[in-house]
C-alpha cells in the first residue's frame, strides 16, 4: 500500500468514526452564534496555537463569525522549537481577565514542592514526562 492510499484510508476511517449528531449540534451552535453576532474564542498553546490562529482566520473569512485567539503565535528566540509567547495583555483586553500569578510564583511553588517532597521520583516517574506518558497510553 502506498503512502497516499494509507493516508486517505486513515482519513476516511477517522471521518467515518465522527458522531454526526454531535457535529450537527456544533454546526447549529456556530450558526446561532453568527446569527446573534457573538464572538468565538479559540485557545491553544504550542502547535495548537498555530491551529487556533488558522481556525480564527477560517471562521472569519469563510463563516463570517467574529473570532479571536488571545495567543500571539510568535516563536521566541530559543533552542526549543515549541517556544511560543502567550500575550496576557491580549487575553485581558479580549476576555476581561488576566493571570493572578506569574512565573515567579510558579517557580517558587515548584521549589517548595520539591523541597517538601510533594513530587517524588520527578526525574524518573513517567507522569512528569508528556511524551513518555503519551507513549505509555499509546496516544503517540
Predicted confidence (pLDDT) per residue in 92-135, tens digit: 887 787 778 888 998 999 899 989 999 888 888 877 777 777 78
Between vectors from CA 65 to CA 84 and to CA 36, what angle results, nearest 5°?
130
Residues 14-44: pLDDT tens digits? 999 999 999 999 999 999 999 999 999 988 7
- For residue 10, what is the enclosing H or E element? helix 3-17
* pLDDT for position 14: 93
pTM for this prediction: 0.52
- The predicted pLDDT at position 102 comes to 81
pLDDT at 83: 54
Give the cell for residue 36: 446573534
The closest alpha carbon to 59, from 101, 81, 31, 22, belongs to 31
- pLDDT for 12 equals 94
Confidence of residue 76 (pLDDT cuts 50, 70, 90): low
Amino acid at each position: 500500500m502506498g503512502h497516499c492510499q494509507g493516508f486517505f484510508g486513515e482519513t476516511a476511517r477517522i471521518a467515518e468514526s465522527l458522531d454526526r449528531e454531535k457535529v450537527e449540534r456544533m454546526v447549529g451552535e456556530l450558526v446561532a452564534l453568527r446569527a446573534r453576532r457573538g464572538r468565538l474564542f479559540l485557545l491553544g498553546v504550542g502547535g495548537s496555537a498555530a491551529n487556533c490562529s488558522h481556525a480564527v482566520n477560517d471562521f472569519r473569512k469563510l463563516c463570517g463569525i467574529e473570532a479571536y485567539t488571545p495567543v500571539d503565535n510568535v516563536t521566541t528566540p530559543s533552542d526549543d522549537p515549541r517556544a511560543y509567547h502567550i500575550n496576557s495583555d491580549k487575553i485581558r483586553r479580549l476576555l476581561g481577565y488576566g493571570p493572578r500569578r506569574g512565573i515567579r510564583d510558579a517557580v517558587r511553588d515548584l521549589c517548595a514542592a520539591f523541597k517538601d517532597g510533594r513530587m517524588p521520583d520527578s526525574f524518573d516517574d513517567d507522569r512528569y514526562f508528556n511524551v513518555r506518558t503519551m507513549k505509555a497510553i499509546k496516544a503517540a
